[in-house]
Amino acid sequence: MALEELYQEIILDHYRHPRNKGKIEDPDIHEHATNPLCGDEIDISAKVENGVIKEVKFSGQGCSISQSSASLLTEALKGKTLEEAETFIAAFREMLAGHELPEDTGIDFGELEALRGVTKFPARLKCATLAWNTAQEAIKAFEKTHSNH
């Protein structure tokens, strides 16, 4: 049954036991976003040191897909440079869009592979990408302020 593809154990696990939930005090990076159509909310905050994401947290409310996706995101981005993070986010969005990645990107999605099932549920795509779009916005905003300095 296709539903099991969508609601894989990893996803349900991250939904029930979200990792890195909360808000970082005095964050370097911070962005809040909503999906006006279904009411999902995501707040992403992070600490950046020398261009590396040292810590990242999320808070918000929403369905199992949006919340587990955010939880998985925090694990995936931690330790990456901003540049790596942006490449990774772009690649992840490509995967959800159902596109094959070129062989040579060398990107390993790890547990995030579990979200691939969403490609079969187009109505849920926005749930899966909300956190990622938010993180991308956040990084862009950070880079903009810092290149202005």
Partner 1 sequence: MAQENLSARKAVHFSSGHSINLSAIRKDFPVLSQMINGHPLVYLDNAASTQKPMSVIQKMQTFYEHDYANVHRGAYELSSRATDEYEEARRKIVDFINAAGSKNIIFTKNGSEAINLVAYSWGRHFLNEGDEIVLTEMEHHSNLIPWQLLAEEKGLTLRPVPIREDGTLDMEVLKKVIFSKTKLVAVTHVSNVLGTINPVAEIARLAHSVGAKILVDGAQSVPHFSVDVQALDCDFFTFSGHKMLGPTGIGVLYGKEEILEEMPPFLSGGDMISEVWIDHATWNELPYKFEAGTPPFVEAIGLGAAIDYLQTIGMDWVWEHEQELTQYALAQIKTVPDLEIFGPTENRAGVISFKIADIHPHDVATFLDQEGVEIRTGHHCAQPLMRRLCIPGTARASFYLYNTFEEVDRLVAALNKTREFFK
Question: What are the residues binding partner 1 (CB under 8 A)?
Answer: 1-3, 6-7, 12, 34, 36-41, 61-66, 121-124, 127
- 27 or 62: whose CB is closer to partner 1? 62
- 38 or 101: whose CB is closer to partner 1? 38
Q: How far is the CB of 65 from partner 1 (least distance, A)?
A: 7
Q: Which two tokens stand for residue 8?
A: 């894989």
- 40 or 77: whose CB is closer to partner 1? 40
Burial class (CB in 10 A: 0-12, 13-18, 19+), 138: buried
Element (H, E) at 141: helix 125-148
Q: How far is the CB of 144 from partner 1 (least distance, A)?
A: 17
Q: How far is the CB of 59 from partner 1 (least distance, A)?
A: 13
Please, what is the angle between helix 64-77 and helix 125-148, to 10°?
40
Residue 102: CB atoms within 10 A of its CB come to: 10
- 6 or 85: whose CB is closer to partner 1? 6
Q: How far is the CB of 123 from partner 1 (least distance, A)?
A: 5
Q: Which two tokens stand for residue 85?
A: 């993070």
